[in-house]
Amino acid sequence: MSDLSAFSLAGRTVLVTGANTGIGQGIALAIGRAGGKVIGVGRSGMDETAGLMAGMGAPFVALQADLASTAAAQAMFDAAWAQHGPIDGLVNNAGIIKRADAVDFSEADWDAVMDINLKAMFFLCQAMGRKALAAGRGAQIVNISSMLSFQGGIRVASYTASKSGVLGITRLLANEWAARGINVNSIAPGYIETNNTEALRADPDRSASILGRIPAGRWGVPSDIGDAAVFLLSRAANYMHGAVIPVDGGWLAR
């Protein structure tokens, strides 16, 4: 038995998608604080995340990839494993959102969101599963779902569909892989201060109605999600499979 805390990620390498900003950046920093190495993946540069990781002396590798392309995403993962691996954990955080009334929602906006939020998530899980199983290694996968995995929301049809799917796929993979040493779980963030919620926070009426329902009385911040991710990536969560942890300030309890 290791002398390290069950919550330590020392010696572990975790690939985090969407690590350039928001929740993904918060997750990367939390992994660094817990002693882990992060491979950050994003569409754009990750200079800010890299600087913050360097400031705490945490190892960080930045990779750019178009996750909308399944082939590109899988090639990125295989190259990351070969060059920086083996990879112990995967956090599928990258996501986009499109807003429009259901009667006006376009097929292009449907496909764009589903490709990133659900399709890329599944095929990165598949890539991780293939590598870990072939190597006879355990692995931890954390998929970022949403409050809209439980609720309908408004004006975000493809986002709601995708995040409901994330929760379903998390459970399916847990059923298939739990006995083979791969933990697949999910975090459902509540309303967090990120780019995706900027439009909501800028709308005084919507912002007030959201805040009024959150028992904690505040919007969440990325580190709230990061610390939960560290738990699910650590040895402390070894017997958790197919679980979803809402980190929502009490939103679902209201």
Hey, which residues are catalytic here? Answer: 159
Q: Which two tokens stand for residue 86?
A: 């083996």
The stretches of 34-119 forming alpha helices (DSSP H) are 47-55, 70-84, 107-114
Measured between alpha carbons, how far is 188 from 163 in angstroms, rounded to an integer? 9
Tokens 């954390």 belong to which residue? 142
Spatial contact of 242 and 176, defined as CB atoms under 8 Å apart: no
**Contact call for residues 243 and 186 (beta carbons, < 8 A):** yes
- What CA–CA distance (Å, rounded) separates 216 from 17? 28
Sheet architecture: strand order including 182-189: 60-64, 37-42, 13-17, 89-92, 139-144, 182-189, 244-247
Structural contact between residues 152 and 137, judged by C-beta atoms closer than 8 angstroms: no
Q: For residue 115, give the 3-state DSSP assignment.
A: helix
